[in-house]
C-alpha cells in the first residue's frame, strides 16, 4: 500500500504544539511526523543534487526532520522513538550542532551520523515529548543553511 503525502500544516517554533501531535501519535500506537523549516518565498534554494548525488558529501540544504512514534513490534516489544535529520552541512550533524541550542543531549544515543544521509538519534525513554520536540525544532533551525521564517511545515502520518 502506497503512502500519500499529507498536506503540510504551517506551525510556529512551538515545542508544546509539536509535542501534542507527538502525544496523539504515541497514543495511537505509531505514525511519524516530518518537519521542514519554512524558507521565505524570495530566498532562492539550491536544488538537492540529483544523479550526481552519489558523489556528493552533502544532503539537502533545507533539512528534513523526522520523529517516529513508539509502536508495537511483532515480538510484543515496543520500538523506541527515533529522531532523524537529513541536512546539507557536509559534515557530521553532531559536530555541526555542538555548542548550539540544537546540541544533542548527553543522554541521547546517536545511532548513525553521516554527512550525506543525516543523523538518527534515540532519546532515552525518560525524555519528555516536550524535550524531544524542542530538540527537533532547535536542531532544524540551527542546521538549516538558507534563511528561515521561524515557522515549520509539518507533515503528519497516522498509523
Within a domain: residue 49? no
Within a domain: residue 24? yes
What's the DSSP call for residue 102? T
Instruction: State the average pLDDT over residues 31-53.
Output: 80
pLDDT digits (tens, 9 = 90+) for 57-101: 556 789 999 999 999 999 999 999 999 999 887 778 899 999 999
Domain that holds residue 111: 9-37+59-70+80-157
Within a domain: residue 52? no
Sheet arrangement for strand 64-68: 9-12, 151-157, 32-37, 64-68, 82-86, 118-122, 109-114
pLDDT digits (tens, 9 = 90+) for 100-116: 999 999 999 999 998 87
Split into its structural domains, the chain has a count of 1
Within a domain: residue 4? no
The model's confidence at residue 54, banded by pLDDT at 50, 70 and 90, is very low
Within a domain: residue 54? no
Q: Which three cell numbers stand for residue 143?
A: 542546521
As a whole-number percent, the residues of the chain with pLDDT over 90 amount to 75
Cα radius of gyration rounded to whole Å, the chain: 15
Within a domain: residue 103? yes
Instruction: State the average pLDDT over residues 32-61.
Output: 74
Amino acid at each position: 500500500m502506497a503512502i500519500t503525502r499529507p498536506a503540510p500544516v504551517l506551525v510556529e517554533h512551538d515545542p508544546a504544539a509539536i509535542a501534542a501531535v507527538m502525544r496523539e501519535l504515541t497514543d495511537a500506537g505509531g505514525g511519524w511526523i516530518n518537519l521542514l523549516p519554512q524558507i521565505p518565498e524570495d530566498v532562492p534554494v539550491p536544488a538537492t543534487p540529483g544523479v550526481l548525488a552519489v558523489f556528493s558529501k552533502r544532503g539537502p540544504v533545507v533539512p528534513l526532520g523526522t520523529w517516529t512514534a513508539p509502536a508495537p513490534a511483532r515480538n510484543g516489544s515496543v520500538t523506541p522513538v527515533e529522531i532523524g535529520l537529513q541536512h546539507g552541512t557536509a559534515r557530521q550533524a553532531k559536530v555541526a550542532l555542538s555548542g548550539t541550542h540544537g546540541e544533542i543531549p548527553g543522554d541521547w544515543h546517536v545511532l548513525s551520523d553521516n554527512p550525506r544521509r543525516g543523523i538518527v538519534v534515540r532519546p532515552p525513554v525518560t525524555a519528555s515529548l516536550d524535550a524531544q520536540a524542542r530538540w527537533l525544532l532547535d536542531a532544524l533551525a540551527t542546521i538549516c543553511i538558507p534563511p528561515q521564517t521561524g515557522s515549520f511545515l509539518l507533515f503528519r502520518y497516522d498509523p
